[in-house]
Amino acid sequence: MEADFVIVGSGSAGSALAARLSEDGKNSVIVIEYGGSDAGPFIRMPAALSYPMNMGMYDWGYSSEPEPNLGNRRLAAPRGKVIGGSSSINGMVFVRGHAEDFNHWSEMGATGWSYADVLPYFKRMETSHQHGGIGGEAGWRGTDGPLNVRRGELKNPLFKAFIEAGRQAGFGVTEDYNGRRQEGFGEMEQTIHDGRRWSAADAYLKPALKRQNVNLVKGLARRVVIENHRATGVEIEVRGRVQVIRARREVVLAASAFNSPKLLMLSGIGPAEHLAAHGIQVVADRPGVGSNLQDHLELYIQQASTRPVTLNAHLNLFSKALIGAQWLFLGKGLGTSNQFEAAAFVRSAAGVKYPDIQFHFLPGAIRYDGKAAAAGHGFQAHVGPMRSPSRGTVRLRSDDPKAAPEIRFNYMSREEDWRDFRHCIRLTREIFGQQAFDEWRGEEISPGSRVQSDEDLNAFIRDHAESAYHPCGTCRMGRADDPMAVVDPETRVIGVEGLRVADSSLFPRITNGNLNGPSIMTGEKAADHILGRTPLAPSNLEPWINPDWETTDRLVETA
């Protein structure tokens, strides 16, 4: 059990790493994954997305510690425990992030990770399908990468009503939020191909496993084996037996924003006092390990529909069975979409340079976990701020590798969090109040028209805000002399040889939108660093920034 590279985690970044590190045939790769097969219908069928993240068979089952600013609620924190990791249980929404997100990374010390640097990797990794054509916005989108990205068919009239409402409210429309211009209302993109979920495992890992130099090992990673400050392997447990998989060249952790810092700490890399408290010998005192935890919170703003066009008509058992049969036998129907087909990225105020609010629109009134459907018909927008200043931690519960980590998001710990969320609710009401929704709009279901004051809105936020499941930042990338950085811009763990981290935990700051896309890009780019290759040539394309961003949160239309 030995390879040149040993990767822990078969998720978004780990799958990309496995494929790129092995593609020239010169290096052997072993991928360690604790979870099992991704073959089940609940994973494969896009419309069934609420199931796998609530199934212990596919999900680690983590939850936060009681969140003091959210009424001491424990919030679900799912991560994929299956081939393909979280890309096999997520909502299949594809967002690259805004150009300024990556420019900010570079300014924080992640040199070589500006938007000009990462755009070539986003292009390399995807094939963009847009309504029958391939390529999308010329120059900005990939045409021959392994990750298939598509748009929905927008058959439900409410999708177009939402986009038109955004235009009527003055926010403008973007033809491709993953292209030159993110800001505005437009069609949402999905990692779905031929009516089925297209995970990182489908795109990268399964093709790579056909090579003789790639192997998948099922086991629980317990710790990184470090000898003389060099990672030499990974200790795993398989059916009660502990063994070591040796790495001739490097170990790469791609185990999630929860499990990557957990593994570092179990291996003696982290805050020295915390490690000592658990009886773990300190190999490298890195106080940033497990710090800087970030996530996106969101709310569902729900509106009754006066006409029976919504998904709520399909929530009975007979309709679900019919949808499943259509999908399984014909590859058609509602089952082939995640039903997130319209989106928006807007700015909350004049003086905000680029979008800091995201909308997912759903032509139904139902929770993300598939529960608590509204009586009758309804539609909803998932909305939340993108760049909360609140920061949390991941810490060890004990030195037992089987123990879940202690996850404290510290949500809503700053006054601007509350201000921004109140604005999100009021803005959603403004969108739903536009003429485009006149023929559909009934009463507001949630929070309800009586909830208007700051105090009442705060209470609604406290009781109902939920994670969008975008954890990141816990092994922050930065300059090698930055005491809170965990990895350098080459993704090397500072203070230990032969060890890297490449997943969403290295994000210095959370990106706009869903994190699957940036996580895969991280694996793509890290592979070039690991192999010592010259990175892809930076792009010279200029992203769109609203020319009136300093004076308005809207779009000043010119003739």
Which of 503, 540, 543 lies closest to 525 in space, CA to CA?
503
Position 31 confidence tier, pLDDT thresholds 50, 70, 90: very high
Q: What is the pTM of this model?
A: 0.97
Q: E strands of 293-440, at which residues?
A: 297-305, 342-346, 357-362, 378-385, 393-395, 406-408
Name the binding residues for FAD.
4-33, 82, 90-93
pLDDT for res 313: 72
- Rounded to the nearest integer, the mean pLDDT of the chain is 95
Say whether 156-188+297-385+412-464 and 1-44+81-128+195-294+391-401+473-540 share the same fold.
no
Per domain, the residue ranges of the chain are 1-44+81-128+195-294+391-401+473-540, 156-188+297-385+412-464
Least confident of 83-87, 302-306, 317-321, 388-392: 317-321
Please write the tens of the pLDDT for every residue from 193-202.
Answer: 999 999 999 9
Share of the chain above pLDDT 90, in %: 89
Query: Has residue 288 got a pLDDT over 50?
Result: yes
Of 90-99, 133-142, 450-459, 510-519, the least confident: 133-142
Share of the chain above pLDDT 70, in %: 98
Q: What is the pLDDT of residues 40-90, one digit of tens each?
A: 899 999 999 888 988 999 999 999 999 999 999 999 999 999 999 999 999
470 carries an active-site annotation? yes
How, if at all, do strands 214-218 and 29-33 pair?
Answer: parallel
Instruction: Retrieve residue 542's tokens.
Output: 């200029």
Taking a C-beta distance cutoff of 8 angstroms, is the pair 46, 338 a contact? yes
Q: Which CATH class is domain 156-188+297-385+412-464?
A: alpha beta
- Per the annotation, binding residues are 4-33, 82, 90-93
Which runs of E-coded beta strand occur in 99-199?
126-130, 133-134, 147-151, 184-187, 189-190, 192-193, 196-197
Per-residue model confidence (pLDDT) at position 59: 97
Indicate if the pLDDT at residue 558 is higher than 60: no
pLDDT in tens, 156-176: 999 999 999 999 999 999 999
The confidence band for 374, taking pLDDT boundaries of 50, 70 and 90, is low
CA 331, CA 34: separation in Å to the nearest integer? Answer: 31
| H/E run at residue 134 | strand 133-134
Report, as an integer, the average pLDDT of 128-136.
82
pLDDT tens digits, residue range 407-425? 999 999 999 999 999 999 9
Enumerate residues 6+ apart whose C-beta is below 8 A from 296: 358, 384, 385, 386, 388, 467, 468, 470, 510
Quote the CATH superfamily of domain 1-44+81-128+195-294+391-401+473-540: FAD/NAD(P)-binding domain (3.50.50.60)
Q: pLDDT tens, 304-317?
A: 999 988 888 777 77
pLDDT tens profile 172-222:
999 999 999 999 999 999 999 999 999 999 999 999 999 999 999 999 999
pLDDT at 136 over 70: yes
Kindly tell me if the per-residue pLDDT of 455 is higher than 80: yes
pLDDT score at 332: 86
Q: Given this model, what pLDDT does residue 559 score?
A: 34
At residue 372, does pLDDT exceed 60?
no
What pLDDT does residue 557 have? Answer: 67
Choosing from 274, 377, 470, 529, the catalytic residue is 470
Provide mean pLDDT across the span 253-280. 98
Asked, as a colleague might, if the bond just before 207 is cis with ω within 30 of 0, I would say no
